[in-house]
Amino acid sequence: MQKLKSNKTSVFSKFGYEIALLIFLGVWFVIMGIANSSFLTMGNIVTVITRISEVAIVAVGMTVVIIAGGFDLSVGTVMALVPAIMGICYGMGMNFALAIIIAILVAAVIGILNGVLIAKARFQPIIGTLATMTALRSIIYVITGGSPISTFPKGYDGLAHGTLLGIPIPIILMIAIAALFIWIMTSTKFGRFVYATGGNPKAANIAGINTDRITILVYVVSALLSALAGIIFSSRLISASPDAGTNTAFDVVTAVLLGGTSIAGGQGNIQGTIIGVLILNFIINGFNLIGINAYWQMIFMGCVLLAAVGYDSKRRNGGFKIGKKQKAATNA
């Protein structure tokens, strides 16, 4: 009986936060369904999930980076750069498949550069990725002349607007990426090494884990997923804008921290991040439907970020430990 009770406690401590987020999301759906009848329509729900697919895909990569103890401010810039390279190469007469390969290789190189700056040159993650973000955004404006690139082949918009078995392709990609990385982070050696690298890098090194390699790999993952998100986004617009992804890093980090990933590394999961993305965007969607000013929405997002960071800080400092009596009963 005591063992069963202990297992139940363990399950709740592991999934309790995600359950609380889902309950909050459900309550929000009820409130907004009463406030505006359009909110609960299938068309609105599918549209919101389709449009947040890019943010969710980037957020998966950001989750992996933050769990490993890093931070990536360059995600939005990669989102803008990759489709710009594709459009320019295709406009010069290059085969579109080859243009995609070249653009994805550029994204991988950016991920390697970020990883090397942080793992080998010992830059702080925020400083290293801020530097690459700034430099790459300037490069985008140089190669595009500050104007959108629209040289894409016919049918390119099918990626963002097409469906498979009635389900929008971006939603399918989002679910596939999330499921893949849930499996990677929970069931593979790489996932265990990522948690170990972010939780205690010195102990991980002593245990024989090459933490520098793990750090480089997680930044490559982040860059590649940002590239995929950028391709989907440009497919929706049939254009590569040099301004694309400007606020993506802020939106993604807010969702990741809201989803329970610790800014200090070593804690978090993909499913919490996806729930965080859904909560933030359905709240913004509800605000739009009831006519709340966009500036108030930005204030709300800032407050959510502060609350998420505050919760994480309190959790890491032992602010949510169970009481002595409950602890004694659990250990009995």
Say what the pLDDT of residue 15 is: 65
Number of neighbouring beta carbons within 10 Å of residue 1: 5
In this structure, what CATH number is given to the domain that contains residue 95? 1.10.3470
Q: Which of 59-68, 255-264, 274-283 has the highest mean pLDDT?
A: 59-68
Say if 24 falls within a structural domain.
Answer: no
Say if 9 falls within a structural domain.
Answer: no
Say if 31 falls within a structural domain.
Answer: no
Say if 41 falls within a structural domain.
Answer: no
Say if 239 falls within a structural domain.
Answer: yes
pTM of the model: 0.88
Percent of the chain with pLDDT over 70: 90
Q: At 167, phi and psi to the nearest 5?
A: -105, 130
Say what the pLDDT of residue 14 is: 59
Give the pLDDT confidence of 237-247 residue by residue, as tens digits.
899 888 888 88
- C-beta separation of 86 from 106 below 8 A: no
Which of 321-326's residues contact partners 24+ apart within 8 Å by CB, and which partners?
A: none
DSSP state of 239: S
Percent helix, strand, coil in the chain, to 5, is 75, 0, 25
Say if 183 falls within a structural domain.
Answer: yes
Say what the pLDDT of residue 302 is: 81
* Domain that includes residue 291, residue range: 46-311
b/e string for 269-299 if b means 16 or more Cβ within 10 A?
bbbbbbbbbbbbbbbbbbbeeeeeeeeeeee
Say if 17 falls within a structural domain.
Answer: no
Say what the pLDDT of residue 223 is: 96
Give the chain's domain count: 1
Say if 12 falls within a structural domain.
Answer: no
Beta strands in the chain (DSSP E): 163-164, 167-168
Give the pLDDT confidence of 282-319 residue by residue, as tens digits.
989 988 888 888 788 788 878 887 877 777 677 766 65
